[in-house]
Structure 1
Amino acid sequence: MNRLRIAFSSLVLIALIFSCSEQPVCGCVFPESPLKGDWNLTKITYGLTQKTVTPAEAGYTETISFVNGSFKQSRNGIPVQTSAYTYAFPNGGISDGLIYYQTDTTQQSFRLSENKLFLSERSPRGVAIADGATYEYSR
């Protein structure tokens, strides 16, 4: 009887060891960030006038990157800003959300549509800018 208990306990212990993995305890699978990757500025639409300009007309190129919780912004190939970031979808869904930047404690609303990323002007957390520009990026 004692050997049976030892054998059973050993099997349970072995099963526990091999069942351990890197997945969360809840068994949830978290999707990859929809922002992940490099994005190139394709146009800017100004709020009040609704005038649209290209990066060439604005006088600069811009690339932004979202990788593993880190944000990087480069203009004309020169890094100008980096920050840790998080994002949320406060109204549900997976296309309209908010990005929260840690370095300067700002937020920026975003919309994803047809492989394009639309970003509003950055603002202090909890503040919305009614007439700011919209920046359109593509991969």
Structure 2
Amino acid sequence: EEGPNFKQFYWPTVSGKCIGGQGDSVGSAIAVPGPTKIPAPGARSGQTAFVFTALGTSPAAKKQGGMNVQWANLNTMKTGVTPLRNNGINPDGPATVSGTASTGKGTIVAMVSGTVNTQEKPCNFVPTVAIFEVK
């Protein structure tokens, strides 16, 4: 109740042997069109905050650098790549990274993929996608 509007990416993704070097982690991603103060770092009007969580993992390492959202605004044809960083979400785990993109208003198609660095190890996730509206 009173939380931000969000769009879940269409399917979960997976990283093999990411948990304790043996267990697979399921990754879940959401897009949160602005304006919103949460999730960190938030998003202004015409922006979108993206959040990716590697379920079952240790907390995110401070240094990230491999999980990205590639997005395109189908109304304006503007495109971009947004890196996801450790912004302090779920400090006790699971590893959660986020970032904000100036997507503009319109229909956005987005794909997230790459590596989340947990405090244990890097975890590579296959792509997942979403289509959503920024009003």
TM-score by length of 2: 0.32
Per residue, is there more helix in 1 or in 2? 1
State the structure with more CA Rg.
1
Per residue, is there more strand in 1 or in 2? 2
TM-score by length of 1: 0.31
**Larger RCO (alpha carbons 8 Å, 6+ apart):** 2
